[in-house]
């Protein structure tokens, strides 16, 4: 077994990405600020997860707004993350997008609209496993579950690709500060936007990293102490994901198993072969440790973590050969799932032009909640004009 590498960029970005350039998308038409049309408002979005991407998508529909997205990682997606190796792609964070029970409309519009060409539905249902290992069909009635044909990171990729936003990857934000005419962005490293965007003042700034990270960005910002403290107080569960590749198929009557007892070391076991386009043959198992198991293994090397996870899967499914994968990949999500949400009154009282979005703002650690939060933040920015 050997370590895998994060793949390049998916969807539109693969076609456009030039290795060594960290500006992955500057809009099709406007490569530099001097060539952009006059704008009345400049908006900075920190974080290119699905919330930040949805906000950029919503803002695209407003005239005279120029959007710059600052993303610390090398590609958009955030926790909707995909990796690739050889001819295999696999989702290492969120597994699929589903419709919310209440108010599905806006997510449906995206799925049937800008995301339609990129999405595939997962083939198979989620069954349950209980504390003693009993596996049953559970309550999944076959509601659609979507991922990208080349991975779930297509969600953010595609939404951003519909915009003229400047998307600067490897552009971690260290903090923000009130400036004469709005907000200034302080970067960790050099400006990757291609036109010194960080030197500009932005009329609005939208922060989408997980609560505790957002709190750090608000240190010293006048009027934001309440928001900062509330963001810092959001509790998260950590999850370690193990992806294990096998050259032989794993024949099972379900796509995934969820531990409904919340007492087992693995909380989730899923088969990437049920996602059209992800692998040509064999299987990739996605094994997500429970928060407790993930914490207990947090200091152990990837190989040890993967050995334990695959042994647990082999025992649960009664397939001893699962202990011997072709290769493994391990991803540790410190801020995986928020346990609570930001009180609306706190977000409402943020200083003028300062906004937050994300699953932790929505109070539900799901893709659809993060997307809706981003759409809402985009709408609030438009309304402030």
Ligand X SMILES: Cc1cc2nc3c(=O)[nH]c(=O)nc-3n(C[C@H](O)[C@H](O)[C@H](O)COP(=O)(O)OP(=O)(O)OC[C@H]3O[C@@H](n4cnc5c(N)ncnc54)[C@H](O)[C@@H]3O)c2cc1C
Question: Residues interacting with ligand X, by CB under 6 A?
Answer: 46-52, 70-73, 78-80, 93-97, 172-173, 208-210, 213, 239, 241, 288, 333, 336-337, 358-359, 365-367, 370
Cβ 185 to ligand X shortest distance, Å = 9
Angstrom distances, CA of residue 256 to CA of 250, 317, 337:
12, 12, 19
Helix/strand number for the chain, H first, E second: 11, 19
Name the one residue in this structure whose structure tokens are 């500009």.
200
- 45 vs 178, beta carbon nearer ligand X: 45
- In angstroms, the CA 273 to CA 54 distance is 28
- 173 vs 381, beta carbon nearer ligand X: 173
Cβ 282 to ligand X shortest distance, Å = 22
- 279 vs 361, beta carbon nearer ligand X: 361
- 189 vs 249, beta carbon nearer ligand X: 189
Cβ 7 to ligand X shortest distance, Å = 15
Cβ 38 to ligand X shortest distance, Å = 27
Q: 11, exposed or middle or buried, with CB in 10 Å at 0-12, 13-18, 19+?
A: buried
* Short-list 345, 347, 368, CA closest to 357: 347
Quote the Cα angle for 193-354-376, to 5°. 90
Q: What is the phi/psi pair of residue 98, to 5°?
A: -130, 165
Cβ 247 to ligand X shortest distance, Å = 25
SS3 state of residue 7: coil
Contact 9, 17 (CB under 8 A): yes
- 51 vs 66, beta carbon nearer ligand X: 51
Residue 376's contacts (CB-CB under 8 Å, 6 or more residues apart) are 357
Count of residues in the chain:
385
- In angstroms, the CA 240 to CA 232 distance is 22
- In angstroms, the CA 56 to CA 379 distance is 10
In 160-212, DSSP assigns E strands to 166-168, 173-179, 182-187, 204-207
Cβ 155 to ligand X shortest distance, Å = 8
Cβ 297 to ligand X shortest distance, Å = 14
| H helical segments located in 47-104 | 50-60
- 48 vs 129, beta carbon nearer ligand X: 48
- 35 vs 188, beta carbon nearer ligand X: 188
Cβ 160 to ligand X shortest distance, Å = 11
- 73 vs 106, beta carbon nearer ligand X: 73
């Amino acid at each position: 077994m050997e370590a895998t590498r994060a793949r390049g960029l998916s969807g539109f970005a693969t076609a456009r990405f030039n290795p060594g350039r960290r500006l992955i998308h500057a809009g099709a038409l406007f490569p530099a600020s001097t060539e952009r049309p006059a704008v009345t408002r400049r908006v900075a979005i920190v974080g290119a997860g699905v919330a930040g991407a949805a906000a950029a998508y919503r803002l695209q529909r407003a005239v005279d707004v120029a959007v710059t997205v600052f993303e610390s990682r090398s590609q958009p997606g955030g926790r909707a993350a995909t990796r690739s190796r050889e001819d295999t792609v696999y989702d290492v964070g969120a597994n699929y997008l589903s419709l919310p029970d209440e108010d599905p409309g806006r997510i449906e519009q995206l799925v049937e609209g800008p995301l339609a060409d990129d999405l595939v539905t997962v083939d198979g249902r989620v069954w349950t496993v209980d504390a003693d290992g009993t596996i049953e069909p559970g309550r999944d009635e076959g509601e659609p579950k979507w991922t990208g044909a080349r991975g779930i990171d297509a969600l953010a990729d595609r939404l951003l690709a519909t915009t003229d936003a400047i998307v600067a990857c490897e552009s971690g934000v260290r903090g923000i500060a009130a400036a004469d005419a709005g907000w200034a962005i302080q970067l960790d490293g050099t400006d990757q936007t291609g036109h010194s965007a960080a030197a500009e003042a932005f009329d609005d700034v939208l922060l989408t990293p997980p609560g505790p990270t957002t709190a750090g960005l608000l240190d010293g910002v006048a009027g934001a102490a309440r928001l900062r403290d509330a963001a810092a107080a959001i509790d998260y569960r950590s999850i370690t994901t193990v992806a294990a590749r096998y050259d032989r198929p794993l024949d099972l009557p379900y796509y995934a198993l969820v531990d409904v007892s919340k007492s087992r070391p693995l909380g989730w076991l899923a088969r990437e072969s049920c996602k059209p386009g992800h692998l040509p043959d064999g299987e990739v198992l996605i094994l997500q440790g429970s928060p407790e198991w993930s914490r207990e293994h947090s200091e152990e090397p990837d190989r040890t973590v993967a050995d334990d996870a695959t042994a647990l899967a082999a025992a649960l499914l009664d397939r001893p050969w699962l202990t011997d994968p072709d290769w493994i990949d391990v991803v540790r999500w410190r801020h995986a799932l928020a346990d609570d949400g930001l009180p609306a009154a706190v977000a409402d009282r943020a200083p003028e032009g300062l906004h937050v979005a994300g699953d932790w703002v929505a109070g539900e650690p799901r893709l659809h909640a993060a997307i809706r939060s981003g759409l809402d933040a985009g709408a609030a920015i438009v309304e402030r004009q």
